[in-house]
Amino acid sequence: MTNPLLESFDVVPFDRIKAQHFLPAVNALIKQAKSEIDQITQNQESATFENTLRPLELSGLYLERVSQCFFNLLSAHTDETLQNEAQHISPLLSSFKNDILMNARLFERIKSIYIQREILQITPEEAQLLERTYQSFCRNGALLTPDQQEEVRAIDSALSKATLTFGNNVLSETNAFSLNVEDKSSLEGLPNSFLEQVQKKAKEKNLVGYLVGLEFPSYLPVMKFAKNRELRQKLWLAYGARAAQNNEQDNKALIREIVTLRQRRAQILGYPNHAAFVLEERMAKSAQNVNTFLGDLAEKAMPAAKRELEELKNFALEQENIEQIQPWDLSFFSEGLKKKLFDWDEEKLKEFFPLNQVLTGVFGIAKRLYGLRFEQDLEIPVYHNEVTAYRVFDEHGAFKAILYCDFHPRPSKRDGAWMTSYKTQYKTSQENHRPHISIVCNFTHPDAQGIALLTFQEVTTLFHEFGHALHGMLADTHYPSLSGTSVSWDFVELPSQIMENWCFQKESLNLFAKHYKTQEPLPLAYLDQINALKAFQEGMQTLRQIGFATLDMAYHDGQFNNQDVVAFERDILGDMQLLKHKHPYVMSTAFSHIFQGGYAAGYYSYKWAEVLDADAFSLFEERGIFDPQTAESFAQNILSKGGTIDPMVLYKKFRGRAPKNDALLKRAGLLTKD
């Protein structure tokens, strides 16, 4: 059988790849990569940067590409075959990684270079690569005894399987739930565009009426607009029961396993807990610093959150005589209160944000800021007919990147939105290898006329992921492990979150916010509403995010001791859950960011990066949101540098000083007035 993954390719040949190609390709490429490592370790010459570090960094690049492709498909377009293959491929890759990081002869060569680092004639980027490589070996067991190394190997293999299973369970549970609503009156309050979508789903299943599910474009509109309180309750309870129903997809035991394994691994390596292990390489540095940061924000957010909740309770009482507001009421009455205070109408606002215009807008903003031009290329193979591919060029016509865009939900795609890579940027003496980047979202499907109207939240989500994509596309480093988004996880959200700011500016909105039928520009009244709403219920939203981050830290800083997951979650969230309830609801069992993704002991980074983004964008506000010098500085000092320089050094080069949190507090309406 010809295997396209074992042929030399530039763009991924999605049109020729089958699920059964991956395992033999991974096996063959692991063998090839091991041969490349053997050439390094068998070199009889003294270790140097050129004969050890550089070839190590460039080894296994095709293996990395095939692995990236596999795991990206596993998230964006999975099936049972891919999920089964993952149970073989993931442990193989974990074992291979350990084979490298626990290779004694290889580590001795790296160590001998590291010892001489003060006298080596190498560039700052090479010095950073040396430092990160040496620390990576140390942090993954190179200094352990053989018995300890074997235990780490076993833990890593078990973790690779457990985290995969966790994600599969969440996807399975999300897809398994559906509520067939036959009576249209039960869906009163929901927009016609939504009704068309869920009616179409029902027809596809040969059902009468409407089919409502837990995927976000279905779940969220019900919670925000459905007047039927019982319907909201059913969906809220179902959403909070995902992977927590004592069935085969229950994740509670997996959480205990994952946390215990991470804790044990950290202790073997000499750290008190997993959080200490993770944060050693983050801007925050320690759990104490993270908890202090979160505590300070919570202290500022709590008074506002309490006021906001009381306001919401009073509104619910006034509108529907509800004396005891419930969790499934929050989004619904928040929407009603927004309409009352700001004359907010999300459905009318959506008419100014058709997906194709928003995408054209974000491309246009990238052109004005960074000189980028996007051209759709129908010849580039894609993995699903909803995916579009673009070639990206700079202002001089030089090729910069390939960008894949995948915007709509389907049963084969996990929830949420993310940016990922199919090929990493790096340089050799012959070529600057340009990156292949992808953004994946779960926006509402197009209507019968093929038009997908985005909520404003979806607009900001697209800008957020596009900010990550810019970090990848504008990468300009020599080494793949330092390229693009290969930075501290509490720094990686800066490029994404700062990009959201252009959704709130008249000058940028004028480029794309136009009515999908009349092309009427977004009225100034809507712009005023959007900006006024930035601080709406920000106290409650901030407290919610702090709750997620605090729960994440509690699982990983030693507080969790294999106890009941539901009770632990409730205990940790404690005062941060202002609306007390006794209903069966747990978020941990579907908390994929920390139990499947890479945010374990790192969820705080969203709020951390908000400080950076608000402070950084204030410079654009001072100089002009399209000021070419400021944009060039951000591109040169932040977007292009990847992990080649300490993130705080990069930030100070751009901003001229360390970040201050005043801009965030002002934006959120939480700045204390003296």
Active-site residue list? 465
DSSP 446: P
Q: Which amino acid is at 180?
A: N
The residue among 393, 474, 475 whose CA lies nearest residue 426 is 475
The residue among 650, 642, 632 whose CA lies nearest residue 435 is 642
Q: What is the DSSP string of 321-388?
A: --SS--GGGHHHHHHHHHHHHH---HHHHHTT-BHHHHHHHHHHHHHHHH--EEEE-TTS--SSTT-E
CA angle 610, 661, 614 (to 5 degrees): 40
Asked if residues 58 and 481 have their Cβ atoms less than 8 Å apart, the reply is no
Q: What is the DSSP string of 247-269?
A: STT--HHHHHHHHHHHHHHHHHT
The residue among 324, 334, 336, 331 whose CA lies nearest residue 579 is 324
- Give Rg (Cα) of the chain: 25
Decide the pairing of beta strands 399-406 and 388-393: antiparallel
- As a whole number of angstroms, the distance between CA 199 and CA 375 comes to 35
Positions of E strands within 12-153: none
The four Cα atoms 374, 376, 381, 386 give a dihedral, to 10 degrees, of 110
- As a whole number of angstroms, the distance between CA 489 and CA 593 comes to 12
